[in-house]
Structure 1
């Protein structure tokens, strides 16, 4: 269906969290050269070691993929320099901070991560900068290469017709679903203990407790707690409005009062301002519903459900009027969207539904409404109630242009993007001096990059390069 060409951005970032420390002032073997840029053996070895540290099985051939990615980045970044494409310090900082938050969470905390890295996060962050910057520049360059690539309906049709009939994909049952969600609302008195908890921690910090330690111990934001509550540099639009209003009002070093958002009670400290961005850390105390608030929510959704069942109000109108799912489905008549792939679709494969949703709609006919049931939002972990509307169901089938146009369009565009990038690299490799060490002669992934056998004739040049390092 797609050409196997590992040069898309998803491949470039396949091992995004395996970025290695830049090796300096170490006598090292040059294993590849792209134009005026060299790649050291230690760079590949370090990334392979980190690949193993992720629990992956030992597979020497992975080094071939790592070297291909490094070659790809070098070629893209060199062209980016010609085209005046660069990455700002803010972009590099944001990318590194996101990576470190993920790595810290995976490691089980900052201290454990620093033990694994055998260095502080601050030191590791500086060592990552050049690699991350090169990756970001390579990403931007590839985006420029493909920015005007699109597919017309005629191209989609030709792509579909080019697929052998016995190779057409089979699609599982798909459904169009709507949802109406009601979350429990707590009274001021019911929320008071959560506010008091946040205020107690805040006062402790004001009295001398370490903010980062308290965040790791008590913050219920699982994404930032392992990093001491740090969120990295963020713009106004990256926060919910209540958080932005507080964050952009404070001066660096100031700690806010406790305030409420849809996620619970927070307080924050601004660490640094940089133009229209702030670097902040926060502590979140989530507001947990009690049984009384859940009972009220259940009674509320039952009354809405009865209005829909009795046809007093259409489902789409009820969702727009009463659903608490503000950002996702409320303003779409309650209809859920399949966000996978490049083309948004209203059809969702049933094997992508969680068990509760599948059970709710399994026996429904088209146009049917499930009974309200308790659920927990997978993103926010908020508990509430919802009922589902089954608009349509498509049984398992072999791909057809009529039923599956959005999916075929996505495949056609991915194929065209791959061909566009492949053609660019083919031209660029022919016009760029590239040499790869004989050690990697067995790598099928690198056959297109250079005539590896000629590397033997350049060993003298390699030795000079090695000595210069």
Structure 2
């Protein structure tokens, strides 16, 4: 479903899925593409959530959203059917990779860290990229094709004023926004801290191998994986790529029944037992222990962050450069954010922004997984755009409306030449 499917990751992370009682099946066929009821329902639920509509309390309104969503998906596939045949529309694999990475980075920022994002998504990063790569590519093809059709559509000054007079009561206010940069450095364990965790897991492995206790009971007592610990650490059968790389590299090299030595991943250290292996699937159970950071570990990170504070206070270009470096290195909240809506800023970041004045760099701030610095650049209060204070924005809205009307008419024309079958079940 192009970009909307990727957006749904956030829907599943931050909201509860409403059930409408539909039995899954084919909603429509467009050319060679099959549209399932479940896919339409998921997108419709996201739209309802965005509009603060509860489907269980407003079933009639939700049905209208569902039908509108289905029509939009049909239009998307109709455009893709034509766009994919246009040899002038070229999207490279590198461009798709960058676009997907940008969307994932935005989601990581919303979640607070890559670890939290993956935990809430219930998918590995490799699986997310594999599942949504083609959707992003399709989205980019459609966007570029659409641009090629509407790029010469423009509006005159009279048309802008006519648009404003007709729609001024429905023009949305410009939301409150902040511009800022973040450097976040996570805690890292010293060799001594790692050794403590490794030795503890080796001791547990010894107890299991000497039949002092079973793997299941040890996992229930000591594993820090909240998802699998209650059931003895069982992960069931998982396809290759579903688990973190370090875990899989060891698990696929093991013999059935074997217990690994401690294996380090981004989540901590694992003891892995291979239960079964069937081609590209493995069945495992594990015991996870997160690394315990000592006071010395935390003090060392604080010193590193304070050194950055001392070197970059008053030097925004250096701070921004470092924030980009750390964003790529740690995949956390580090990075530069320009005109970022308040609604998308995590609470712990917004709290710091409210305490700062323009062009001020915060002192090191302790967060759950490390320390961060916030450089505050600009604040824009919410306002209602009009032709006096926001001519460029009103011009943009008027132009978009004219372009959308033009493109919608074009889509309706091409749909007559494409096989489309809508099922009313």
TM-score using structure 1 length: 0.49
Task: Kindly state the Cα deviation for residue 425 of structure 1 after the two structures are TM-superposed.
Answer: 5.8
Task: Kindly state the Cα deviation for residue 287 of structure 1 after the two structures are TM-superposed.
Answer: 1.6
Q: Which residue of 140, 145, 150 maps to 1:148?
A: 145
Unaligned runs of 5+ in 1: 1-6, 24-29, 86-104, 109-132, 338-345, 377-381, 441-469
Secondary structure of 2:182's aligned partner: strand
Secondary structure of 2:359's aligned partner: coil
Number of matched pairs: 348
Secondary structure of 2:367's aligned partner: strand
Task: Kindly state the Cα deviation for residue 300 of structure 1 after the two structures are TM-superposed.
Answer: 3.8
Give the aligned partner of residue 302 of structure 1: 306
Matched, 1:361 2:353: yes
Matched, 1:184 2:153: no
Q: How far, CA to CA, are the matches of 2:283 and 2:72 in structure 1?
A: 35
Q: How far, CA to CA, are the matches of 1:9 and 1:147 in structure 2?
A: 14
Q: How far, CA to CA, are the matches of 1:417 and 1:139 in structure 2?
A: 21
* Map 1:250-289 → 2, pairs under 5 A: 250=253, 253=256, 256-268=260-272, 271=277, 274=280, 284-289=288-293
Task: Kindly state the Cα deviation for residue 258 of structure 1 after the two structures are TM-superposed.
Answer: 1.9
Give the aligned partner of residue 415 of structure 2: 428
Question: Using a 3 Å threshold, how does the CA distance of structure 1 residues 365 and 8 change in structure 2: closer, same or farther?
Answer: same
Give the aligned partner of residue 117 of structure 1: none
Secondary structure of 2:147's aligned partner: coil
Question: Using a 3 Å threshold, how does the CA distance of structure 1 residues 66 and 351 change in structure 2: closer, same or farther?
Answer: closer
Q: How far, CA to CA, are the matches of 1:363 and 1:175 in structure 2?
A: 13
Matched, 1:336 2:336: yes
CA offsets 1:7-36 (integer angstroms, 9 cap, x no match): 98638997997697668xxxxxx9999999
Question: Using a 3 Å threshold, how does the CA distance of structure 1 residues 136 and 434 change in structure 2: closer, same or farther?
Answer: farther
Give the aligned partner of residue 372 of structure 2: 386
CA contact (8 A) 1:184 1:289 kept: yes
Q: How far, CA to CA, are the matches of 2:224 and 2:283 in structure 1?
A: 14
* Map 1:226-237 → 2, pairs under 5 A: 228-229=234-235, 232-233=238-239, 235=241
CA contact (8 A) 2:359 2:376 kept: yes
CA contact (8 A) 2:83 2:145 kept: no
Task: Kindly state the Cα deviation for residue 433 of structure 1 after the two structures are TM-superposed.
Answer: 7.4
Q: How far, CA to CA, are the matches of 1:56 and 1:365 in structure 2?
A: 43
Question: Using a 3 Å threshold, how does the CA distance of structure 1 residues 412 and 430 change in structure 2: closer, same or farther?
Answer: same
Q: How far, CA to CA, are the matches of 1:357 and 1:176 in structure 2?
A: 12
CA contact (8 A) 1:146 1:417 kept: no
Q: How far, CA to CA, are the matches of 2:216 and 2:391 in structure 1?
A: 52
Matched, 1:349 2:326: no
Secondary structure of 1:293's aligned partner: helix
Task: Kindly state the Cα deviation for residue 304 of structure 1 after the two structures are TM-superposed.
Answer: 3.5
Question: Using a 3 Å threshold, how does the CA distance of structure 1 residues 247 and 257 change in structure 2: closer, same or farther?
Answer: same
Unaligned runs of 5+ in 2: 86-118, 123-130
Task: Kindly state the Cα deviation for residue 370 of structure 1 after the two structures are TM-superposed.
Answer: 1.2
Give the aligned partner of residue 120 of structure 1: none
Give the aligned partner of residue 382 of structure 2: 396
Question: Using a 3 Å threshold, how does the CA distance of structure 1 residues 70 and 331 change in structure 2: closer, same or farther?
Answer: closer
Question: Using a 3 Å threshold, how does the CA distance of structure 1 residues 155 and 292 change in structure 2: closer, same or farther?
Answer: farther
Secondary structure of 1:389's aligned partner: strand
Give the aligned partner of residue 177 of structure 2: 174
CA contact (8 A) 2:188 2:297 kept: yes
Give the aligned partner of residue 57 of structure 1: 56
Give the aligned partner of residue 365 of structure 2: 373
Question: Using a 3 Å threshold, how does the CA distance of structure 1 residues 414 and 264 change in structure 2: closer, same or farther?
Answer: farther
CA offsets 1:53-75 (integer angstroms, 9 cap, x no match): x9952544345655776788789
Q: How far, CA to CA, are the matches of 1:351 and 1:283 in structure 2?
A: 38
Q: How far, CA to CA, are the matches of 2:391 and 2:205 in structure 1?
A: 54
Task: Kindly state the Cα deviation for residue 374 of structure 1 after the two structures are TM-superposed.
Answer: 1.0
Give the aligned partner of residue 107 of structure 2: none
CA contact (8 A) 1:201 1:214 kept: no
